[in-house]
Structure 1
């Protein structure tokens, strides 16, 4: 489907369910059509290094994989895959029209329970975090073990691109952090060289697993029992990671929301339940993973800022870039101190 067809689909849904307003939002890979109680997620017909959604059958398979994977963490949210016919309506039992696309059908969750919004309102408590820790630990403990090293070739390739990236390029409001990254790279290379047995132990002890791959706060809903949505289905590379990598992503996001205390509490309770291979080395690797994820977010916002210099969103992206730049500096300082 194309964008104008998605708009027609949303209009038709509004007519069918007698809703005056059916909203449409979008991500890089999907259009999201929102009714009062349901969500229809339609893949865009695009192709990149991670996926190829140019054919209808490929989009159908991706929808099916998304539902199957996400039902592990949110079984009552992901309701199935529905065909969309050429009248731009969901297929029903008496409809003989041609199927033109597919959508993931989801139950609509309350915006007020989305973790990033609750963080913005300062409503997230230690009790919320403890429930989330238990939920994540249960998922990680039962996830499939993957026979890969914690720092594999894909990770090394991305890391090299990140440390060579000129953060703050052409953006006067942001201090350049590239020099700091050279020190971080040297420190981590020394750590890796001196702890080869530790990295082998993490692999042998099954610490690399098939995980969520996208554990940001906006994919978490803090009901009495937490719900985690939007698990990555299109790339094994992004979700076959060390468990500390995924925990670090969430904690970095908490840090970015200004909640270092909750971040530290999550990590303390997480490692208490998941155990350690070598606590000192685990702590070092955990902070390095936080640095890695902060760098990825900094690069993303740097690109958006440079691409939108004449638009209103520019200062929003610069503000985000500054947040991640400060995190990068603090993580590198911690690693530098811990290595001496």
Structure 2
């Protein structure tokens, strides 16, 4: 007796033959745990499998049409040029037609095809994923989230109960797919999450109230980000469940960062987070970031094993269970501050170190501007705003100290990127490290005066950097700097 799954498989093969005639050549088939995609040289045709799962119901043609249309609508927020239309499949399973007269027996989403290997997971595996790709995507995600609709104050999305249920659902769904030894590892991870639930519940509630729950992507792993048409863009967001799409903004960022780690690109993961946090200023959310990353790693492990259970051809993939375990055992936090005149290389050193060692960075140039509602690259002087008064400096260092405290409490290594030319500024952060019981270090950066002057002038002329230091600022620093001492 033929099942809906059998009929779907026959329909896909018939459509494959039909599209091959149109295209004049072979049509590739790509399969996920919930969809099949037929690839012609120029286009992609995506059909949803007739499944009823705990998180999605595609069991009827009407449901598949609805979710194809939702997929088109929602993904045009990210990649309007990539998503074309939804087409009815008419005729019969054995002799289908795309569009035309007659009752639709199924529905397909039609997209433009991008070159094979341009997805970020493929670029990461080949070593072709560049730091610029990650920076551009971090900026794009931050902009998208800033403009995304906020969940209503009385919405259940992103509340402690809803988030806890979603995470518990992944543990429950994954457990039967593991062998005994893996199941023991999963139980340890669940205990790690459960032990933090009371504190997380308070954080999730506060973030919901503060407007951090928005309509996002929901499935932001590397295979769903592509370098295409001179841009980097997300695609293939969650269309089948508002619960999985209306989420904390950091839950989307965590997915992308986690998958960089899982693909062996931890340095790029930290670079992504640095750029993303610089844009969003969401350092207050760091305490939920690691739990979100662990949850996202388990989502990917679950998706891969569900695909295996459906009999899909074996595919190499990262060990997401091991990735989750590594995230649950981070190194000891520590606090580092930079020290040096403008142009001495502090930000360059901090950027390299945060990628190599894995750290959160706070930049005085950025946070000073944020206090005045200015973007990182804005020219405060051109807008007639003096952001370098003694009071502004005091408030900037207070903001840096509170941000560092938040990151340390969340268990992260922290680099505070500022000149720290006055002893009282350095002492305040050394006291913070002592209070938190973490190691404290000063990264001293030095260059000769001619090189300092050259770097400062070049940076001001080139633009594209948050620092507004010029030669007058450099001269004033040289006159007033208080040197480091042994204590």
How far apart in 1 are the matches of 2:296 and 2:332?
A: 18
1:179 to 188, 210, 213: 188
How far apart in 2 are the matches of 1:56 and 1:169?
A: 33
Counterpart of 2:389 in structure 1 is none
How far apart in 2 are the matches of 1:81 and 1:145?
A: 28
Write out aligned runs for 1:1-340 (5 A).
2-19=8-25, 21-86=26-91, 87-91=95-99, 95-147=100-152, 148=155, 150-160=158-168, 170=179, 176=185, 178-179=187-188, 181-186=190-195, 188-192=196-200, 196=202, 198-223=203-228, 224-276=230-282, 279=283, 281-300=284-303, 313=314, 320=318, 323-334=319-330, 338=410
How far apart in 2 are the matches of 1:72 and 1:22?
A: 28
TM-score (normalizing by structure 2): 0.60
**Larger C-alpha radius of gyration, 1 or 2?**
2
1:333 Cα offset (Å): 2.0
How far apart in 1 are the matches of 2:167 and 2:65?
A: 33
Moved more, 251-260 or 215-224: 215-224
User: What per-residue deviation string (whole Å, max 9, x for no partner) do you get for residues 138-184 of structure 1?
Assistant: 21111111134645323212434556776995366898353354244
Note if contact 2:148-2:216 (Cα within 8 Å) is conserved in structure 1: yes
How far apart in 1 are the matches of 2:133 and 2:145?
A: 18
Note if contact 2:32-2:307 (Cα within 8 Å) is conserved in structure 1: no
Moved more, 286-295 or 329-338: 329-338
1:311 Cα offset (Å): 11
1:84 Cα offset (Å): 1.8
What residue ranges of structure 2 are gaps of 5+ in the alignment? 1-6, 334-409, 412-435, 437-487
Look up the SS of the partner of 2:98 in the other structure. coil
Look up the SS of the partner of 1:213 in the other structure. coil
How far apart in 2 are the matches of 1:47 and 1:336?
A: 44
Counterpart of 2:418 in structure 1 is none
How far apart in 1 are the matches of 2:70 and 2:329?
A: 41
Note if contact 2:79-2:235 (Cα within 8 Å) is conserved in structure 1: yes
Determine which structure has greater relative contact order: mean sequence separation of CA pairs < 8 Å that are 6+ residues apart, divided by chain length: 1
How far apart in 2 are the matches of 1:238 and 1:296?
A: 11
Structure 1 vs Structure 2 CA RMSD: 3.1
Look up the SS of the partner of 1:80 in the other structure. strand
How far apart in 2 are the matches of 1:129 and 1:208?
A: 23
Look up the SS of the partner of 2:101 in the other structure. coil
Counterpart of 2:453 in structure 1 is none
User: What per-residue deviation string (whole Å, max 9, x for no partner) do you get for residues 286-326 of structure 1?
Assistant: 11111121233345556777x69x9994xx77x74xx3233
How far apart in 2 are the matches of 1:68 and 1:78?
A: 9
TM-score (normalizing by structure 1): 0.83
How far apart in 1 are the matches of 2:200 and 2:276?
A: 24
Moved more, 256-265 or 163-172: 163-172
Moved more, 137-146 or 8-17: 8-17
How far apart in 1 are the matches of 2:258 and 2:301?
A: 12
1:29 Cα offset (Å): 2.2
How far apart in 2 are the matches of 1:101 and 1:311?
A: 22
Q: Structure 1 53/29 Cα, relative in aligned 2: closer, same or farther at 3 Å?
A: same
Note if contact 1:167-1:177 (Cα within 8 Å) is conserved in structure 2: no
Note if contact 2:31-2:312 (Cα within 8 Å) is conserved in structure 1: no
**How many pairs are equivalent?**
322
What residue ranges of structure 1 are gaps of 5+ in the alignment? none
Look up the SS of the partner of 1:222 in the other structure. strand
